[in-house]
Amino acid sequence: MAASSHSAMAFPGFKGCDASVLLDDTPNFTGEKNSFPNANSLRGFEVIDDIKSQLEDMCPGVVSCADILAVAASEAVGILGGQRWNVPLGRRDSTTASLSEANSDIPAPFLDLNGLISTFSKKGFTVEEMVTLSGAHTIGLVRCRFFRDRIYNETNIDPSFAAAMKEECPFDDGDDNLSPFDSKTPMSFDNAYYRNLVESKGLVHSDQQLFVDGSRRTNPQVIAYSKNFGRFKHDFANAMFKMSQLSPLTGYDGQIRTNCHFINPTTDEYRE
């Protein structure tokens, strides 16, 4: 999925790896798809639907949507040039979601460094892991509305890069125009994202906050990743393994959804 929020693969649901983000709104239930970071940004749901449909034909009620998301993230990174990680299975799917907590807990593209550190820390991630997981923006797309202020108003940006992005994102139009986070190699999982930051070519404000003048907390790690793809992909796989273990539902908690978009019909009430 492509996303405008920090890390296309991070924070798969505001509570954890429970597929709550896949739930559609209904007259009696409000999901997370229309939260500020997700609305008109998350894409690729049809890929998950296709996988789920085939699995339901082969082994009904066995593989959760949460497990599909976790495996798909690892496989996608591997296919695009990164390092796969082991994905323990057995998650169950959430029967709840929270629009308000998705709005507050998913890292926003306008956060400064302290805000990013705080948001990731709430989920148990270190500053180093935050820098690593931000590298998910080596792939994915972002809407114009989330980087317009940076390219028109910020000064710590390469002038030629800003000029090129203004062609893609007019000052007063094109909110939903999509541009890649990584303008160098947008379809490859590599370390160009970090090279962009060193060159002041981070597209959204929160990305460039990882590399700003005088920052001893994150600058050295960004420089190291910009020079050493092997180190980045190894660290990313480890951080994503930790992410995949974020508060999973197991045992009798949750359910195995038949359709990833909706709670199973036997559930009496959608709960928020």
pLDDT single digits (tens) 16-49: 689 998 999 888 888 888 877 777 778 889 999 9
Determine whether the annotation assigns residue 107 to a binding site: yes
Determine whether the annotation assigns residue 20 to a binding site: yes
What confidence score (pLDDT) does residue 29 get? Answer: 86
Cα-based angle 211, 217, 221 (whole degrees, multiple of 5): 65
pLDDT band at residue 141 using 50, 70 and 90 as cut-offs: very high
Least confident of 2-11, 128-137, 205-214: 2-11
Residue 110: count other Cβ atoms within 10 Å of its Cβ. 14
Q: Which of left, alpha, beta for 7 (phi over 0: left; psi -120 to 50: alpha)?
A: left
Q: Which residue is listed with tokens 């082994």?
A: 59
Q: Is the CA virtual torsion 200, 102, 149, 42 positive or negative?
A: positive
Residue 120's alpha-carbon distances to 43, 104, 213, in angstroms, are 23, 12, 22
Determine whether the annotation assigns residue 159 to a binding site: no
Give the separation between CA 133 and CA 6, rounded to whole angstroms.
9
pLDDT digits (tens, 9 = 90+) for 178-225: 999 999 999 999 999 999 999 999 999 999 999 998 788 999 999 999
The pTM (predicted TM-score) of the whole model is: 0.89
Determine whether the annotation assigns residue 220 to a binding site: no
Give the separation between CA 42 and CA 267, rounded to whole angstroms.
26
Determine whether the annotation assigns residue 6 to a binding site: no
Q: Is the CA virtual torsion 10, 15, 21, 25 positive or negative?
A: negative
Average of per-residue pLDDT across 136-143? 95
Tell me if 21 sits within 8 A of 35, measured CB to CB.
no
What confidence score (pLDDT) does residue 82 get? Answer: 97
Compare 247 and 54 and report the one with higher pLDDT: 54
Average of per-residue pLDDT across 63-79? 96
Bridge partners of residue 96, in order along the sequence: 271
What confidence score (pLDDT) does residue 15 get? Answer: 60
Determine whether the annotation assigns residue 261 to a binding site: no
> How many CA atoms does the CB half-sphere of 95 hold within 13 Å?
16
Determine whether the annotation assigns residue 190 to a binding site: yes
Q: Is the pLDDT of residue 271 over 70?
A: no
Least confident of 40-44, 82-86, 120-124, 138-142: 40-44
User: For a pLDDT cut of 70, what percent of the chain falls above it?
Assistant: 92
**Ordered domains of the chain (ranges, CATH):** 20-244 (1.10.420.10)
Determine whether the annotation assigns residue 248 to a binding site: no
Strands 178-180 and 141-143: antiparallel
Residue 149's alpha-carbon distances to 98, 165, 169, in angstroms, are 28, 11, 10
